Amino acid sequence: MHEGESVEPDFFIRLVDRHAAALELFAGQWTVAPADVVQESLLELCRQDPLPERIVPWLYKVVRNKAISAARSENRRRRHEATAAGRCERWFEPAPDAAFDAALATEALHELPDEEREIIVAHVWGGLSFEEIADAFDTSSSTAHRRYQAGLAALRERLGVTWLVNTGPKPG
C-alpha cells in the first residue's frame, strides 16, 4: 500500500484470514488473551491513515507491544488480587470434623450465575457494602443482598455444607 492509495473493501478480511491465527499464536507468548490483543491491533491498523508501508511486520510489532503490555497488566492484577485476598478474613469456616476442598469451592463459585458470583466476590473479597455494590452494579442494595444470600445458599448446596459463613463486611 502506498500513501493516497485506497483500500479494497475486502482487504482487511483477507488480512485477518491470512494472519490472525499466527498473530494470536505470537501474542500467546506473553498474554492469556491473545485474541483480544490481535483484535485491538487490527482496530489500530484500521485507524492508520495512511496505512503502514509494510503492514504485516507493523502488525507483529503492534501485537508484540500490546501483548507485553497486557501481560504486565495481568501480572499487576494478579498481584493486587493476591494482596487483597491476603488481607481478607476467611470466608469459609470449616466445621471441626469437615475436610474442605478449596478447589471444589472455587469451582462452585464459578458455577454461580454472574450476578450472584460478582456480588459475592465484590462483598467478600472487595469489601464493598451492599449499598456500594448497588451503585456499582446499577441495582438496589436489597437486590444485591438477596443475590448475595442466594449465592451463598447455592454454594452451601453445591458443596454439601451447612457451615459456610461470611466473615466479610456486614450489610450496609
What is the pLDDT at residue 97? 54
Model pTM score: 0.48
Grid coordinates belonging to 42: 487490527
> What is the rounded distance in angstroms from the CA atom of residue 72 to the CA atom of residue 64?
12
pLDDT at position 143 is: 94
How many CB atoms within 10 Å of residue 42? Answer: 18
What pLDDT, on a 0 to 100 scale, did the predictor assign at position 61? 93
Query: What integer pLDDT is reported at residue 149 of this predicted model?
Result: 92
List of residues 6+ apart from 52 with CB closer than 8 A: 1, 45, 58
* pLDDT score for 168: 45
Tell me how far the alpha carbon of residue 84 is from its chain's centroid. Answer: 16
Res 138: pLDDT = 83
pLDDT for the residue 169: 44
With a cut of 70, list the residues of the chain below it in pLDDT: 1-6, 85-100, 163-172
Write down the pLDDT at residue 40. Answer: 96
